């Protein structure tokens, strides 16, 4: 089907299904069956639709005794239009949740939305905000874990949770320090005897995921012949390596007013504003690092690492020379 304006990806959402079961076309919009059309309405919550489709995929794979790779992106954690409260660019409400600590289970209230624009009556819906979005993210991860238990595959499953950038208003599109690229990552594999547990401050990049997954699947030879910048986490997470092999994290930001490189090592970091910071001591807020204004007043190892990171920046300053680059007038590569 042709594209159409997206009304919402939270309440009463547009959901585009790819290779949906029993569909002749590759792409179809949800609701796409008599049952889903009858249930669809103002109280339909996009992340719940996503989760139901996700669990159906997992069930189909289990029924066919097939291993599966699931890449699930969440609509939670994004600002959007809140049609219930008629607010633009905000954190829309989510269905109300409660946690039963004794049973280790979530309970979700069924949301009800009635009335018309400007005068909606709701039930089972909270007041929104990023705190509620984080809570609902936890609920969706809990559902995935419970489904793995139900299907009997949890002990042979690796769950990786992360995000693409810092949230809007803080890190998204920000060149300030590491607010954009520095994000959490959780790796959970209860049946695979991970050798590392708890919090770690090792450098990890998303490019490390491909060789890591290849090692987990025993197919790393399939990567032979490809240029890879990723470094497998497998020796660190599942074997006896004391540290991950990555020595820096690199990020590239493209915007209409110019392209910026960001890089961080163990001692120093350069942000998109061309400022350098002392990151030798981790900060609780992961942000309040002292700026380096006089390189003569920092230890020699700081200057040595800076010089190595500058070589990294030069090596990866290829935005305007890669195969997918489309040159524009007055857009020249800067050294």
* Model confidence pLDDT, tens digit, residues 192-226: 999 999 999 999 999 999 999 999 999 999 999 99
Under the banding of pLDDT at 50, 70 and 90, the label for residue 317 is confident
User: In the prediction, which pLDDT does 137 show?
Assistant: 95
Average pLDDT over residues 151-178: 92
User: In the prediction, which pLDDT does 6 show?
Assistant: 58
Q: Report in angstroms the alpha-carbon separations of 249 from 84, 191, 262, 335.
A: 41, 30, 8, 20
Name the phi and psi angles at 250, rounded to 5. -120, 140
How much of the chain exceeds pLDDT 70, in percent?
A: 94
Output the average pLDDT for the chain. 89
In the block, tokens 């029924």 appear at: 63
On the question of pLDDT at 303 being above 60, the answer is yes
Under the banding of pLDDT at 50, 70 and 90, the label for residue 320 is confident
User: In the prediction, which pLDDT does 335 show?
Assistant: 34
What's the CA dihedral at 303, 176, 317, 224 to 10 degrees? 90
Q: Report in angstroms the alpha-carbon separations of 187 from 7, 72, 141, 190.
A: 34, 15, 12, 10
Indicate the burial class of 157 (C-beta count within 10 angstroms; 0-12, 13-18, 19 or more): buried
Q: Which of 165-169, 174-178, 281-285 has the lowest mean pLDDT?
A: 165-169
Q: Is the peptide bond before 31 cis (omega within 30 degrees of 0)?
A: yes
Query: Which tens digits make up the pLDDT trace of 231-276?
Result: 999 999 999 999 999 999 999 887 777 788 999 999 999 999 999 9
User: In the prediction, which pLDDT does 139 show?
Assistant: 97
Under the banding of pLDDT at 50, 70 and 90, the label for residue 173 is confident
Query: Which tens digits make up the pLDDT trace of 123-133?
Result: 999 988 999 99
pTM for this predicted structure: 0.87
What is the DSSP track for 18-46? ES-TT-SSSEEEEP-SHHHHHH-STT-BH
User: In the prediction, which pLDDT does 21 show?
Assistant: 75
Report the alpha-carbon distance of residue 16 to residue 6 in Å, rounded.
10
Rg (CA), the chain: 23
Task: Pick the more confident residue, 73 or 153.
Answer: 153
Name the phi and psi angles at 328, rounded to 5. -125, 155
């Amino acid at each position: 089907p042709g594209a159409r304006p997206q009304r919402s990806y939270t309440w009463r959402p547009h959901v585009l299904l790819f290779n949906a079961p029993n569909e002749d076309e590759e792409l179809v919009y949800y609701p796409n069956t008599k049952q889903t059309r009858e249930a669809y309405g103002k109280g339909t919550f996009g992340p719940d639709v996503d989760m139901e489709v996700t669990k159906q995929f997992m069930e189909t794979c289990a029924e066919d005794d097939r291993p599966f790779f699931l890449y699930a992106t969440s609509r939670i954690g994004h600002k959007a239009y809140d049609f219930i409260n008629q607010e633009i660019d905000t954190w829309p409400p989510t269905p109300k949740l409660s946690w039963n600590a004794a049973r280790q289970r979530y309970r979700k209230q069924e949301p009800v939305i009635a009335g018309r624009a400007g005068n909606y009556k709701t039930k089972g819906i909270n007041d929104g905000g990023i705190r509620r979005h984080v809570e609902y993210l936890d609920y969706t991860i809990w559902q995935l874990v419970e489904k793995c238990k139900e299907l009997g595959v949890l002990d042979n499953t690796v769950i990786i949770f992360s995000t693409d950038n810092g949230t809007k208003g803080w890190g998204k599109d920000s060149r300030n320090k590491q607010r954009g690229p520095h994000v959490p990552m959780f790796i959970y594999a209860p049946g695979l005897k991970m050798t590392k547990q708890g919090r770690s401050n090792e450098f990890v990049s998303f490019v490390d995921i491909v060789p890591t997954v290849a090692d987990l699947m025993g197919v790393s030879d399939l990567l032979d012949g490809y240029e890879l910048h990723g470094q497998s986490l497998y020796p660190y997470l599942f074997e006896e390596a004391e540290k991950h092999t990555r020595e820096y994290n690199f990020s590239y930001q493209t915007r209409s007013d110019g392209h910026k490189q960001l890089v961080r090592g163990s001692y120093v970091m350069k942000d998109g504003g061309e400022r350098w910071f002392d990151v030798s001591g981790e900060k609780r807020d992961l942000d309040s690092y002292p700026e380096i204004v006089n390189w003569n007043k920092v230890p020699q190892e700081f200057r040595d690492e800076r010089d190595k990171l500058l070589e990294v920046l030069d090596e990866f300053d290829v935005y305007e020379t890669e195969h997918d680059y489309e040159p524009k007038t007055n857009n020249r590569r800067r050294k």
